Amino acid sequence: QVQLVESGGGLVQAGGSLRLSCAASRVTFSRYAMGWFRQAPGKEREFVAAISGSGASTNFADSVKGRFTISRDNAKNTVYLQMNSLKPEDTAVYLCAAAYYGLATMQEVQYYDYWGQGTQVTVSS
């Protein structure tokens, strides 16, 4: 069983920054592409960012390009999402996901095999 646990969410002012972490257990972490998604109340779950197993390739939603960075430390079985210049519309539960032998280009929910339970990010105006 693969377990993913997100942390680092919180309440910030618009323009502020947060770094989210997602720790994976019981995996050979480098075999998994990792993605970040977010879901706001009443809205569809949407893709945010993804990174290949080696970390060589990354992909971002248009809404966060230039503001968010995804990275990973395979020795620690952890993926990160650095969020800068946060906007109120970034408010959502952020979830990490793992895709076995996946690609950073994968943006659809159905491509991912495992999911964390999410961490809340709230951005005040």
**Per-position pLDDT tens, the chain of length 125:** 789 999 999 999 999 999 999 999 977 999 999 999 999 999 999 999 999 999 999 999 999 999 999 999 999 999 999 999 999 999 999 999 999 999 999 999 999 999 999 999 999 99
In b/e form, how buried is each residue of 104-114, taking b as 16+ CB within 10 angstroms?
A: bebbebebbeb
- pLDDT value for 26: 75
- pLDDT value for 1: 74
- How far from 73 is each of 22, 44, 76, 100, 103, CA to CA, in Å? 10, 29, 5, 17, 17
- pLDDT value for 67: 98
- pLDDT value for 112: 97
- pLDDT value for 2: 87
Look at the alpha carbons of 32, 30, 81, 121 in this order and tell me if their dihedral is positive or negative: positive
- pLDDT value for 39: 98
In b/e form, how buried is each residue of 35-55, taking b as 16+ CB within 10 angstroms?
A: bbbbeeeeeebebbbbbbbeb
- pLDDT value for 120: 98
